Amino acid sequence: MSDNRVEPSPAERDGALRITVLSDAPDGPPGIDRLREHAEIALAHNEASLRAALPGSRILVVTDFRTEALKAAWDAADRLEWIHATSAGVDQLMFDALIESDIPVTNAQGIFDRNIAEYVLTQILIFAKDSANNLAYQQQHRWVHRDTETIEAKHLLVVGAGSIGHRIGRLCRAAGMRVSGVARRAKDGDDVFDSIHAQDDLDALLPDADYVVVAAPLTDSTEGLFNAARFAAMAAHARFINIGRGAIVNTEDLVAALAANEIAGAALDVFETEPLPADHPLWDMDNVLISAHMAGDFIGWREALIEQFLANLARWRAGENLFNRVNKRHGYAPGGA
Amino acid sequence: MSDNRVEPSPAERDGALRITVLSDAPDGPPGIDRLREHAEIALAHNEASLRAALPGSRILVVTDFRTEALKAAWDAADRLEWIHATSAGVDQLMFDALIESDIPVTNAQGIFDRNIAEYVLTQILIFAKDSANNLAYQQQHRWVHRDTETIEAKHLLVVGAGSIGHRIGRLCRAAGMRVSGVARRAKDGDDVFDSIHAQDDLDALLPDADYVVVAAPLTDSTEGLFNAARFAAMAAHARFINIGRGAIVNTEDLVAALAANEIAGAALDVFETEPLPADHPLWDMDNVLISAHMAGDFIGWREALIEQFLANLARWRAGENLFNRVNKRHGYAPGGA
């Protein structure tokens, strides 16, 4: 092993690297046997089992993006050198002691981008082509002709101009839409976005958008970003799409804006509370499309996540820089054009 | 007027060109007042009123693509020089005496292409993202996570490589699919299609397609083209999409193929009998998406059709060649790359 940060133990030289895998699945994530080809795997499911597994582990793989167990068991991480999260968002993983530590955190940036972009385009087209009403009329055996909207030259505002936001913008631009981006700070436009505006300018941008999609990470600066004032600033014909995190939206304000026809529709894959409670008013609202936090989850994604980690593990073993390193203060991995 | 084919009468020199408009709407098509700015308009709705309107008319505009009145009233067309159909398909308009006459027929090629392409991409994405089940679970307030298909690199076979087929191929290629075309005869590939195969080779092409879309006109060589043997040749995971004409498909064979899971789904905008009868088995079939012959009908299409005719009328008045001339024997306008 060429890893020069810590002198490998004799066991490690023989390949007995210890990796803790924190998973909500009893047998661990699909593909965990692929990991066992490369390291000794300790499986943990909660604070107690994580506390038992961490001592001696140099790497922690977190496959449950909702977990807060690491914060509770942090004192047991005696040899930890690297944490990898098999999700794009790492908001629930972060806590002050981890942020302040030298331990790098990597994420699954890139894996979900293409499928999320397809999901967003699907929802835009379902709105434009009135497809939900096609299905409703079909259930009633009713032949009801309507004229429908085209998406050509319609304006999509992508809030969050990172890896996922760029992939959304690229696909929707290819499909004939105009796309603009919003990031923490204004940047020059690129081959995807006509322009990338600062989040502080969002209120001035919203009225011109036909579709607004949230592709931002959940951070202090995006939590609650879409509130009553933001929905009021949107055009009455505009639709709102959230594939980021539920807490970026004030759900009560969204329900009120939809009920008051301040916006024309919403497609939601993420929610403040997941699963969305069965008695939540969103389920029955017209022009709302609900999916179960699955926008990124293409067939084969679990296996793809394992392969992505193994590629980074090879870099770690070779003493090379890890890819997809998360800026722990900002809560996401930079880049993504 | 520079039209040199027929000596204009004094009334015509004054602008009193007579145009008959055959329409199923009592007041004629939306935008007919735009026509009245350019000519004297005689409105007809059926064989009798068409017979009364045709004498003296040099142009006939047919806005009802299902009509067969012209064949019946043909002997009253004493001065007819040009027939324009405000539809892409002209199959029901054609009859032997018209085909054998020197009277050119033009159609609405181009107007519907973009919206039809968006409709096809919408249906492909609805299949891939399992969106119909999202809506079903939403009605039941159920949070059901599934992994879904991506369309990236999936193979779309476009049967009918004309204007509409090219637009479908262009959009789906831009969205990341592989696209191939089928035409009457094999041609070189172009910037849309990897290759354009002959219709005679269809059976060899079908097994490799993930999606098959019919964008062909209804002609003698396409009528009943998709029958039991063709559906049996398709892959079990493949979906069939028809935006051409219903009679290109043997509907009983399609129902049987769907019921036997020989293909995985169908999205149908056109049917052998329209409206689709309320008791037809297609309405209730799983994985069937039905719409009411509306794939091309974007908001504003009627006005766009009038403007397209007026652009051709300006050419006619100037003695120039008409665009969108239909090959009356083949039943469609050539070109469309």
Question: Within a domain: residue A325?
Answer: no
Mutate to test the interface with A, among B129, B133, B171, B273 (most CBs of A within 10 A): B129
Residue B15: per-residue pLDDT = 54
Residues A106 and A159 in one domain: no
Domain containing B50 equals 10-110+299-317
Contact between A147 and B171 using a beta-carbon 8 Å cutoff? no
A116 or B332, higher pLDDT = A116
Whether this prediction's pTM lies above 0.80 is answered by yes
Q: Which residues of A touch B276 (CB under 8 A)?
A: 143
User: Does the active-site annotation cover B307?
Assistant: no
Contact between B122 and A132 using a beta-carbon 8 Å cutoff? no
Residues B106 and B140 in one domain: no
Contact between A299 and B143 using a beta-carbon 8 Å cutoff? no
Please give the residue of chain B at the shortest CA–CA distance from A171.
B175
Residues B266 and B119 in one domain: yes
Residues B95 and B132 in one domain: no
User: What is the percentage of chain B residues whose pLDDT exceeds 70?
Assistant: 95
Question: Within a domain: residue B322?
Answer: no
Q: Which residues of A touch B147 (CB under 8 A)?
A: 294, 297-301
Residue A335: per-residue pLDDT = 55
Partner residue opposite B121 with nearest CB, options A125, A278, A297? A125
User: Does the active-site annotation cover A245?
Assistant: yes
Question: Within a domain: residue B237?
Answer: yes
Q: Which residues of A touch B114 (CB under 8 A)?
A: 150, 152, 176
Residue B331: per-residue pLDDT = 72
pLDDT at B265 over 70: yes
Partner residue opposite B290 with nearest CB, options A132, A134, A291? A134
Domain count, chain A: 2
pLDDT in tens, A57-86: 999 999 987 888 999 999 999 999 999 999
Residues B106 and B118 in one domain: no
3-state secondary structure A75-127: HHCCCCCEEEECCCCCCCCCCHHHHHCCCCEECCCCCCHHHHHHHHHHHHHHH
The active-site residue, picked from B68, B100, B152, B274, is B274
Mean pLDDT (whole number) for B221-244: 98
- Cα of B21 to nearest chain A Cα, Å: 22
Mutate to test the interface with A, among B24, B112, B119, B122 (most CBs of A within 10 A): B122
User: Does the active-site annotation cover B293?
Assistant: yes
User: What is the percentage of chain B residues whose pLDDT exceeds 90?
Assistant: 86
H or E stretch covering A174: helix A163-174
Residues A73 and A197 in one domain: no
Residue B335: per-residue pLDDT = 55
Contact between A129 and B151 using a beta-carbon 8 Å cutoff? no
Question: Within a domain: residue B330?
Answer: no
Residue A210: per-residue pLDDT = 98
Question: Within a domain: residue A4?
Answer: no
Contact between B301 and A121 using a beta-carbon 8 Å cutoff? no
Question: Within a domain: residue A335?
Answer: no
Asked whether the beta carbons of B141 and B189 are under 8 A apart, the reply is no
Whether residue B290 lies within 8 A of chain A, CB to CB, comes out as yes
pLDDT in tens, B180-211: 999 999 999 899 998 899 999 999 999 999 99
User: What is the percentage of chain A residues whose pLDDT exceeds 70?
Assistant: 95
pLDDT at B4 over 90: no
Residues A92 and A171 in one domain: no
Whether residue A143 lies within 8 A of chain B, CB to CB, comes out as yes
Mutate to test the interface with A, among B143, B241, B243, B279 (most CBs of A within 10 A): B143
Residue ranges of chain A with per-residue pLDDT less than 50: 1-4, 9-14, 336-337
Residues A247 and A271 in one domain: yes
Residues A100 and A83 in one domain: yes
Task: Report the CATH number at residue A148.
Answer: 3.40.50.720
A53-89 burial: b if 16+ Cβ within 10 Å, else e: bbeebbbbbbbbbebebbeebbebbeebbbbbbbbbb
Contact between A132 and B129 using a beta-carbon 8 Å cutoff? no
- Cα of A248 to nearest chain B Cα, Å: 20
Mean pLDDT (whole number) for B136-155: 98
Question: Within a domain: residue A329?
Answer: no
Q: What's the pLDDT band for B337 if we cut at 50, 70, 90?
A: very low
Q: Which residues of A touch B293 (CB under 8 A)?
A: 145
Residue A122: per-residue pLDDT = 98
Partner residue opposite B291 with nearest CB, options A114, A134, A298? A134
Beta bridge partners of B265: B239
Residue A269: per-residue pLDDT = 98
Residues B149 and B262 in one domain: yes
Question: Within a domain: residue B68?
Answer: yes
Q: Which residues of A touch B174 (CB under 8 A)?
A: 174-176
- CA B202/CA B9 separation, integer angstroms: 53
Q: Which residues of B touch A145 (CB under 8 A)?
A: 292-294, 297
Whether residue B273 lies within 8 A of chain A, CB to CB, comes out as no
Residues A135 and A209 in one domain: yes
Residue B65: per-residue pLDDT = 77
Span of A18-22, A230-234, B85-89, B282-286 with lowest mean pLDDT: B85-89
The active-site residue, picked from A58, A84, A167, A245, is A245
pLDDT in tens, B302-323: 899 999 999 999 999 999 999 9
Whether residue A304 lies within 8 A of chain B, CB to CB, comes out as no
Q: Which residues of B touch A129 (CB under 8 A)?
A: 118-119, 122
- How many pairs of residues across A and B have Cβ atoms under 8 Å apart? 148
Please give the residue of chain A at the shortest CA–CA distance from B136.
A135
Residues B186 and B273 in one domain: yes
Contact between A146 and B294 using a beta-carbon 8 Å cutoff? yes
